[in-house]
Structure 1
Amino acid sequence: MTTTLITGANKGLGLETARRLVAAGHTVYAGMRDLASGDAARELGAHPVQLDVTGDASVAAAIAQLPALDVLVNNAGIAGTAQNLDDLTPEANDHVFATNVTGIVRVSQAALPLLRRSSNPVIVNVASGLGFPRFLLDTSRAEGHVMTVPYVASKAAVIALTVQYAKNLPGMRINAIDPGYTATDLNGNSGHQTVTEGTDAVVAMATIGADGPTGTFSDREGVIAY
C-alpha cells in the first residue's frame, strides 16, 4: 500500500488530489492547518492531520503520526496580498515565500527519513506556469499579463528548488507541476479548468514508478521543456 501525505488538502486542488489518490489505492494523509475543516477529507477516506507548513513543531508532529511515507505532495500555497509594485513590501513578499517555498523545504526535510525507507519515494511540488519565465514573457498566454510579484517569484523558486532536490536525491522521483488555470479559492474561482483537470498533472506524477522522470516540470499535457 502506498502511503501519501498531501499538504493543504482540506479544499481545492489538495482535496481533489486526495480524492483521486484514495481512489487509486493510496493511504492518504490530508494535511491541513485546521482539523475542523477535515470533514470533506474524511468523507473521501483520507486521514486528516494537523499540519501548518510554516511551523516546525506542527510539521514534526504531523510527520510523527505517519506509519510510513512513499509520496509527498507539497500542495499548500497562498496568493498573498500584494498585486502590483505599489503595494509590494518586503513583508508581503516574505509572507508568501514562508508558505510557498520555505514551507516546502520544511516539510520535505522533515519527511526525508521516512521517504528514504520507501522502495519508491516520490515528491511532487505544486508550482505554476506563473513561475515559468518563458510563459511570463508570452503575451499570448494568460501568464504574460499577470503583474503580481510575490506569488510568481515564489513559484519560480519552487521549480528551481525541485530541480536541485532531484539532483541531490537521485534515488527519488522529484518533480514540479503546473495545475493550469483552475477554479479554486486562490483565484476567486475564476479559472477555466475544473479541479479534476487541475489535478491531472499532480496525480500523474504522484503515481509514477521508480523508472519515472525526475527534475521535470509538467502540466496535464505532459513535460514542459525548460
Structure 2
Amino acid sequence: MTTTLITGANKGLGFETARRLVAAGHTVYLGSRDAERGRVAARTLGATPLLLDITDEASVAAAAETVAAAGGLDVLVNNAAIAGPYTAVGEVTAEIMRPLYDTNVFGVVRMMHAFLPLLEKSPAPVVVNVSSGLGSMVLATDPDAIESSVPALAYGSSKSAVNMLTVRYAQAYPAMRINCVDPGYTATDLNAHQGTQTVEQGAEIIVRMALLDPAGPTGTYAAAAGPLPW
C-alpha cells in the first residue's frame, strides 16, 4: 500500500489530488492547518486528516511523528501555498514578500527536512512540489508568453525558488523521484477562482507525477502538456 501526504489538501488542487490518489488505492494523509475543515474533507474522501501548518516547525514535527508512528511515507505532495497581494513591483516590500516565502519556500524546506528520513525508508519514494509557470525565468522573459505579462514579483520569485529547491533535492537524493509541476491557471481560492481551468484539469499533472515509479524522471519541471523551461 502506498502512503501519501498532501499539504493544503482540504480544498482546491490539494483536495482533488487527494480524491484521485485515494481512488488510485493510496492511503492518503490530508494535511490541513484547520482541524475541522481537514476532518470534513478527509471524511468526504476516505482519507486520514492530519493537522499540519507548514509555517510552524512544531506542527510539521508533530505531523512527521504521527506519520512515522503509523508506518511511514512513500509520496509527499508539497501543495500548500499562498498568493499574497498582487502589488506593483515598485511597491513590493520585504514585509509583503515574507509571508509568501515562509509558506511557499520555507514551508517546502520544513516538510522536506522533517519527512526525508521517512521517504528514505520507502522502496519507491516520490516528491511532487507544486510550482507555477510564473516561476519560469525563461517564460517571464519571453514577450510571447503570458507569464511575462504577470508582474507577480513575490509569488513568481517564490516559485522560482521552489524550482531550485526541487533541482537540488533531486541531485542530493537520486534514489527518489523529486519533481516540480505547474498545474496551470486553475480556478481556486488562490486566485479568487479567476483561473481558466478546473481543479480536475489542474490536478492532472500533480497526480501523474505522484504516481511515478522508480524508473520515472527526477529533477524535472513540467505541466500537463509536457516539460517547461526553467
TM-score, normalising length from structure 2? 0.95
RMSD of aligned C-alpha atoms? 1.1
State the secondary structure of the residue aligned to 1:40.
helix
Distance 1:140 1:184 in 2: 25
Distance 1:107 1:186 in 2: 21
Deviation track 1:93-123 (CA, whole Å, cap 9, x = no partner) reads 1111000000000011100111011000011
Deviation track 1:111-152 (CA, whole Å, cap 9, x = no partner) reads 011101100001100000000011112333321211121100
Aligned length: 226
Q: Which residue of 82, 104, 107 corresponds with 2:108?
A: 104
Amino acid at match of 1:130: L
Amino acid at match of 1:136: A
- 4+ runs deviating over 6 angstroms: none
Amino acid at match of 2:41: A
State the secondary structure of the residue aligned to 1:167.
helix
Give the conservation status (yes or no) of the 8 Å contact 1:166–1:214. Answer: yes
1:61 match: 62
Give the conservation status (yes or no) of the 8 Å contact 2:4–2:28. Answer: yes
2:21 match: 21
Unaligned runs of 5+ in 2: none
1:50 match: 51
Deviation track 1:134-191 (CA, whole Å, cap 9, x = no partner) reads 1112333321211121100000000111000000001111000000010111111111
State the secondary structure of the residue aligned to 1:113.
helix
Identity of aligned residues (%): 55
Deviation track 1:18-66 (CA, whole Å, cap 9, x = no partner) reads 0010011000001110111121232111111110001110001111111
Amino acid at match of 2:228: I
State the secondary structure of the residue aligned to 1:199.
helix
State the secondary structure of the residue aligned to 2:58.
helix
Distance 1:139 1:20 in 2: 36
Distance 1:120 1:171 in 2: 8
Q: Which residue of 169, 178, 182 corresponds with 1:174?
A: 178
2:187 match: 183
Distance 1:225 1:157 in 2: 14
1:70 match: 74
Greater Cα offset, 138-147 or 45-54: 138-147
Amino acid at match of 1:46: A
Amino acid at match of 1:37: R
Distance 1:65 1:103 in 2: 18
State the secondary structure of the residue aligned to 2:8.
coil
1:7 deviates by 0.4
Give the conservation status (yes or no) of the 8 Å contact 2:9–2:18. Answer: yes
State the secondary structure of the residue aligned to 2:117.
helix
1:35 match: 35
1:138 match: 142
State the secondary structure of the residue aligned to 1:152.
helix
**Are the structure 2 counterparts of residues 16 and 137 from structure 1 closer, same or farther at C-alpha, using a change threshold of 3 Å?**
same
Give the conservation status (yes or no) of the 8 Å contact 1:180–1:193. Answer: yes
TM-score, normalising length from structure 1? 0.97
Distance 2:123 2:227 in 1: 24
Distance 1:152 1:128 in 2: 8
